[in-house]
């Protein structure tokens, strides 16, 4: 994407090692998951292994997971989407504002299932439109993804502020909150949604021509165009998919917390980049898979929850996340050098 | 006459038009006190923007400088309070040094692992902020604890004018510091080998290497200077507002990047001037500060900045595309 990466070296290596490399990364991530699990259990057996701990993880993990997958999709074409958190909040706030208008004086909590479905649609449409805007800026006006999404992210957060005036929107309908807090057959709804999204996107990327074409654009844009891929159109679709997923994460976030605000989840941006890169996504494009991202998400969530149990300050956890990101970069680079 | 056709001239025209328009909506804009306070708001963002400009000319992007500014500012002020030290020169040198060392870390990681600067600096920003807040402290150093020498330094005025009612207002001397640094960077970029190597590297790293530039040295120069400017601007900020807040500057990186892009620098590297950046910063700060004067609600501020950034990058993207053909 930028001059510092060496796409040639990566590509020749990629084409030969693609399938094998992915499997190896996933195996490694699975190993890390088990390792973290064992280490944390050894240190705090009673707290860490409690069903309450796992249940709470199952409720808050999906938001970040969906954002990470959204980031991975943007990275597949060699781009990045820095506006996902803005989109997520805008989606939640739009739905909240809509509920406020529909309910009027009575308060939104009395609204039934019809309005809730309408709210979900509105939130998803906001996400798709936001993605359409990003895709338009990137593929038609040829703006670098970093700058385009940096700018639109500001606009989306700004629109959140304009809609709310600053404070959080609180009090969503009960049906809406069930999306974030409910259970079906003993399993948390967010987790079920996340698994469904994982399976759906996994199939989309691995088993359809759409997924193949996306990866082709990231691997070698010129070759993809010569092979008949409509690059501009594909990029717009991929950013719309990213936007839609970000909106989905926004729905879960506002449904779980029963509130929506312009600056919720701002730390998710870095974490989504980290999880995507850790999960074997190549930020220069061409490589990425849902299973890797899901495994990276699980291992980092376990790690985070373990640190919190050891009463480590939240700020030091930020430090660990950043350090982890740099470590992963270093490791990837080292492996690349050794092979090539 | 080449200046008239440069992008700096276009930015200057945009600036003049914007000033006239704001002045028409609210003549209070042209009051000397408003212009002075406008210049004052330029200083810290401007010094940071000089560092970001350097990184952008080299073809990278930096989102860690605000974290470095906080590290330089907060560590130095904390140590000054702890040792009961009162001075100006040594603290500013230390803050600059802290920023420079952190910049060295960026340069090392980016160059050694040939990794996208955005992702590296996202990581280092999180590391540095996490360490400062987690280990050094989370509470503000307020005016009653701030070293008096720093406050006095921040209060220095170049010239003082009197209002009709007898109260006075002045033009802060920090503007001179800012413009001095800008002039220095301009001279380095235009007239030294290391400055030219930044442009060469940004335009085409491979070509720069073949011509004989040491790319590692260029990267170190770029990121160390950017970090040092950030550290310096952090302490300058706290001496100007008489407060050291370890949570300061959150989200400011986007404004600064917007200002630099507004000033005509290209994210693809190889393009950008100090004059353009200084003008870009002025436009951004002026529009932000004038929203209230123009009677626009402040909640719209983020939307306006974002829209300006998108407009600026669209124009530069179109320009760069035309230049390539």
Chain B residues in contact with A321 by the CB 8 A cut-off are: 126, 130
Encoded tokens for B61: 């992007």
ipTM of predicted complex: 0.80
pLDDT for the residue B3: 67
A80-95 confidence digits (pLDDT tens): 999 999 999 999 999 9
Local confidence band at A6 (pLDDT 50, 70, 90 cut-offs): low
Buried b (16+ CB within 10 A) or exposed e, A156-172: bbbbbbbbbeeebbebb
Percentage, residues of chain B above pLDDT 90? 45
pLDDT for the residue B40: 92
Among B127, B218, B268, B311, the residue to mutate for chain A (most A Cβ within 10 A): B127
Question: Is the CB of A161 less than 8 angstroms away from the CB of B118?
Answer: no
The three-state DSSP-derived secondary structure of A155-192 is: HHHHHHHHHHCCCCEECCCHHHHHHHHCEECCEEHHHH
- A95 neighbors A120 (Cβ within 8 angstroms): yes
Cα separation, A134 vs B223, whole angstroms? 30
B74-108 confidence digits (pLDDT tens): 999 999 999 988 889 999 999 999 999 999 999 99
Encoded tokens for B278: 């200084």
Mean pLDDT, residues B295-321 taken together:
81
Question: Is the CB of A158 less than 8 angstroms away from the CB of B118?
Answer: no
**Separation in Å, CA of B233 to nearest CA in chain A:** 23
Nearest to B126 among A2, A319, A330 (CB): A319
Q: Which residue has the higher pLDDT, B294 or A61?
A: A61
Local confidence band at A105 (pLDDT 50, 70, 90 cut-offs): low
B240-289 confidence digits (pLDDT tens): 999 999 988 887 888 898 899 888 888 788 889 999 999 999 999 998 88
pLDDT, chain B, mean: 88
Phi and psi at residue B270, to the nearest 5°: 85, -10
Cα separation, B65 vs A262, whole angstroms? 24
Residue B202, pLDDT above cutoff 50: yes
Integer CA distances (angstroms), A287 to A28, A34, A277, A280, A304, in order: 17, 25, 10, 7, 26
Cα separation, A186 vs A176, whole angstroms? 19
Mean pLDDT, residues A23-28 taken together:
78
Question: Is the CB of B134 less than 8 angstroms away from the CB of A6?
Answer: no
For B273: left if phi > 0, alpha if psi spans -120 to 50, otherwise beta; the answer is: beta
Buried b (16+ CB within 10 A) or exposed e, B98-126: bbbbbbbbbbebbbebbbbbbbbbbbbbb
B169-187 confidence digits (pLDDT tens): 888 889 999 999 999 999 9
Phi and psi at residue A170, to the nearest 5°: -120, 160
- Contacting residues for A213 by C-beta, under 8 A, at least 6 apart: A224, A229, A234
Phi and psi at residue A17, to the nearest 5°: -105, 5
A302-317 confidence digits (pLDDT tens): 888 878 777 777 788 8
Mean pLDDT, residues A258-283 taken together:
85
Query: Would you call A316 helix, strand, or coil by DSSP?
Result: helix
């Amino acid at each position: 994407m930028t001059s510092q990466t060496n796409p040639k070296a990566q590509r020749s290596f990629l084409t030969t090692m693609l399938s094998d490399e992915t499997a190896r990364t996933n195996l490694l991530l699975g190993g890390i998951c088990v390792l973290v699990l064992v280490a944390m259990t050894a240190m705090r057996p009673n707290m860490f292994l409690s069903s309450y701990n796992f249940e709470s993880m199952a409720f808050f993990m999906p938001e970040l997971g969906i954002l990470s997958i959204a980031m991975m999709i943007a990275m597949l074409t060699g781009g990045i989407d820095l506006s996902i958190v803005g989109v997520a909040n805008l989606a939640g706030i739009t739905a909240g504002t809509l509920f406020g208008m529909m309910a009027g004086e009575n308060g939104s909590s009395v609204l039934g299932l019809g309005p809730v479905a309408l709210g979900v649609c509105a939130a998803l449409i906001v996400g798709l439109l936001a993605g359409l805007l990003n895709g338009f800026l990137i593929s038609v006006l040829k703006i670098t993804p970093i700058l385009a999404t940096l700018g639109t992210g500001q606009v989306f957060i700004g629109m959140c502020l304009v809609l709310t005036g600053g404070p959080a929107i609180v009090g969503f309908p009960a049906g809406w909150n069930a999306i974030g807090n409910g259970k079906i057959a003993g399993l948390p709804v967010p987790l079920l949604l996340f698994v469904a999204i994982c399976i759906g996107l996994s199939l989309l990327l691995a088993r359809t021509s759409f997924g193949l074409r996306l990866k082709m654009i990231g691997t070698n844009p010129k070759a993809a165009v010569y092979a008949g891929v409509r690059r501009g159109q594909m990029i717009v679709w991929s950013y719309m998919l990213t936007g839609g997923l970000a909106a989905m994460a926004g729905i879960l976030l506002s449904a779980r917390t029963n509130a929506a605000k312009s600056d919720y989840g701002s730390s998710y941006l870095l974490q989504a980049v980290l999880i995507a890169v850790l999960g074997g996504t190549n930020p220069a494009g061409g490589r990425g898979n849902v299973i890797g991202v899901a495994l990276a998400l699980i291992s980092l969530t376990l790690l985070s929850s373990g640190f919190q149990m050891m009463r480590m300050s939240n700020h030091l956890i930020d430090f660990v996340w950043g350090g982890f990101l740099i470590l992963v970069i270093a490791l990837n680079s080292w492996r690349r050098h050794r092979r090539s | 006459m080449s200046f008239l056709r440069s992008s700096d001239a276009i930015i200057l025209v945009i600036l003049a038009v914007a000033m006239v328009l704001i002045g028409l909506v609210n003549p209070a804009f042209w009051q000397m006190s408003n212009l002075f306070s406008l210049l004052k708001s330029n200083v810290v963002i401007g010094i940071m923007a000089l560092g970001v400009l350097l990184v952008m000319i080299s073809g990278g992007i930096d989102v860690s400088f605000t974290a470095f500014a906080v590290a330089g500012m907060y560590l130095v002020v904390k140590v000054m309070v702890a040792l009961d030290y009162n001075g100006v020169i040594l603290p500013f040198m230390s803050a600059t040094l802290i920023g420079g060392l952190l910049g060295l870390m960026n340069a090392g990681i980016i160059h050694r692992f040939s990794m996208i600067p955005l992702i590296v600096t996202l990581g280092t920003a999180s590391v540095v902020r996490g360490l400062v807040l987690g280990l050094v402290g989370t509470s503000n150093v307020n005016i009653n604890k701030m070293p008096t020498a720093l406050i006095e330094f921040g209060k220095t005025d170049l010239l003082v004018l009197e209002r009709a009612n007898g109260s006075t207002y002045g033009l802060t001397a920090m503007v001179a510091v800012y413009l001095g640094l800008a002039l220095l960077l301009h001279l380095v970029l235009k007239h030294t080998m290391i400055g030219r190597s930044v442009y060469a590297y940004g335009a085409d790293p491979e070509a720069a290497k073949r011509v004989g530039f040491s790319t590692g040295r260029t990267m170190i120069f770029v990121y160390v200077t950017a970090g040092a400017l950030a550290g310096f601007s952090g302490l300058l900020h706290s001496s100007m507002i008489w407060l050291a807040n370890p949570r300061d500057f959150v989200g400011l990186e986007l404004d600064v990047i917007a200002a630099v892009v507004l000033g005509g620098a290209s994210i693809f590297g190889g393009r950008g001037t100090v004059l353009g950046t200084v003008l870009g910063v002025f436009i951004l700060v002026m529009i932000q500060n004038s929203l209230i004067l123009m009677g626009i609600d402040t909640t719209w501020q983020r939307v306006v900045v974002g829209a300006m950034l998108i407009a600026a990058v669209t124009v530069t993207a179109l320009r760069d595309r035309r230049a390539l053909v």
